[in-house]
Structure 1
């Protein structure tokens, strides 16, 4: 059987729910310097300056925080049909639907945890306005030169009730490759990092300690440098945005990071775009033990407790 790896080219977009639409919109447009490129009912479509597709974020007013649809762009029409056939064979298909602005025919499905996803190939590329036209034609939009200057969508980390089950789906049905993972002393996987290309990771599953399904851990955006992340910390400090942890360096994947909560309650990460690449065609998954992870992050900072308890939508934590 031919490998499914690279049938999914990359993450396309993510839909975020927010109970405070105007403040969340302010966060993404004013602090992250994203451009609003469209409205549809209760949703705004937002574009990060160097994402080539129509939009990066679909921000939707909702009764609570959390994640809506995750878009995956297939590598070709043939790749799209292969992945749809695999999804249907796995019993996770929902069906074809209108993908909305910037997307052609789109197939909806869910992972085993219930996170809604879309896969598509036909895509409308971002067209800058006269005002936002970049000086360099190989760039999607003008560099904003303000705020955090979020460059592009980097990865999404889902919370999952069963990390291993979700991981099998991503690997066997979507064609993702696990690059790193955490195995607890009881043998269970508590986290897996998957790539669809040469990036070290695109999609992550972390164990949901509440036993819930379908929740979000965080959405991450790439910056150019570590200095951008340090500047971002000051911007968030000045604007009353809760900084959860960082700036610091992860041990797993070695990403330089900063985590904040946007006004709607969703966790947002900023990470340096110079993260590691996976060039080896025979890459062997790096496994971390529970004892190794207990040491904390790369430079010794312990992992903050809310990293294991905060997710969206919020749920009542189990009694300790």
Structure 2
């Protein structure tokens, strides 16, 4: 059992690559209900209505799909310096940059599988323009009442050659902790769910069947209620969005979910409840076996085969 350092506050935002930038932008704005908050070159910045920062998603036009940088906000300036030192000690640092709009000095690095990440402390709190100003002063933006109307960015699930190596990196270098994991009969750890604060998971690592590196399984957005997941299925149906699986309930982390593909090919999860809260300072990882997983999801439903094979960017045969 590793103790939380509490030096990473939360996942700040994620960059997503898309070969269909206009269609992907339409999906995130019109179907999921995010709000545009600026653009720079090939990138558009989007935010969920309950995010206090400048943006939740950086959507970047690219030749293929996949995940770009995942941004983590440090808990303080001192925490930023501490984690940067730990990353550099492991030889995984890339270096400092000015950061995206709304973000101060940013340290770029890679996890053991090659996924690019960044750490920052300084952050510009969002101030809504008059037309988006909420009635309640403790809410960043008015509820847009558009599409699914997702509330916030929830987590990122990476595909990796070695999920356990990703989990160790989160724990040993970033100061997180494993809350749940899948261990095969061979003893191989095939997936780990890690967290930085009381929410039970923020970054997930899953073994990639292709043995490629740096790929994405999915990014997830939290809805306000479980009913929103059912409504999201109808909205996606009406807008011609491909529904991969759900709504169902996961046994692991007990999440009620819907998985869809956005037009660029990336898998998006809509989830509620977003995560359980872990208050125990001495939490031990919950381990799921092959026999446990063979029983399917919490309600005994079979996991669709593409859930184990689809990732971005795509990997060709051979």
TM-score bucket of the superposed structures, by smaller chain: over 0.9
Q: Distance in 2 between matches of 1:5 and 1:250?
A: 28
Unaligned runs of 5+ in 2: none
**1:155 match: secondary structure:** strand
Q: Distance in 1 between matches of 2:295 and 2:218?
A: 22
Match for residue 14 of structure 1?
14
Q: Distance in 1 between matches of 2:222 and 2:312?
A: 21
Question: Is the counterpart of residue 155 in structure 1 residue 161 in structure 2?
Answer: no
Question: Is the counterpart of residue 145 in structure 1 residue 145 in structure 2?
Answer: yes
Q: Distance in 2 between matches of 1:292 and 1:5?
A: 31
**2:82 match: secondary structure:** helix
Q: Distance in 2 between matches of 1:56 and 1:89?
A: 29
CA contact (8 A) 1:224 1:274 kept: no
Q: Distance in 2 between matches of 1:226 and 1:117?
A: 31
**1:174 match: secondary structure:** coil
Match for residue 179 of structure 1?
179
Match for residue 200 of structure 2?
200
Q: Distance in 1 between matches of 2:34 and 2:113?
A: 30
Question: Is the counterpart of residue 50 in structure 1 residue 50 in structure 2?
Answer: yes
Question: Is the counterpart of residue 130 in structure 1 residue 130 in structure 2?
Answer: yes
**1:26 match: secondary structure:** helix
Q: What displacement does 1:145 show?
A: 1.3
Q: Distance in 2 between matches of 1:10 and 1:274?
A: 14
CA contact (8 A) 1:225 1:274 kept: no
Distance 1:317 1:277, change over 3 A: farther
CA contact (8 A) 1:93 1:108 kept: yes
Q: What displacement does 1:317 show?
A: 4.3
CA contact (8 A) 1:179 1:195 kept: yes
Q: Distance in 2 between matches of 1:281 and 1:234?
A: 40
Q: Distance in 1 between matches of 2:53 and 2:6?
A: 18
Q: What displacement does 1:291 show?
A: 1.2
CA contact (8 A) 2:3 2:282 kept: no
**1:253 match: secondary structure:** helix
**2:38 match: secondary structure:** strand
Q: Distance in 2 between matches of 1:54 and 1:302?
A: 39
**Deviation by residue 1:223-270 (Cα, 9 ceiling, x = unmatched):** 011100000000000111000000010000000000000000000000
Q: What displacement does 1:173 show?
A: 0.1
Return the TM-score normalized by structure 2. 0.98
Q: Distance in 2 between matches of 1:263 and 1:187?
A: 37
Unaligned runs of 5+ in 1: none
CA contact (8 A) 1:4 1:174 kept: no
User: What CA RMSD, in Å, does the superposition of the two structures yield over aligned residues?
Assistant: 1.1
Return the TM-score normalized by structure 1. 0.97
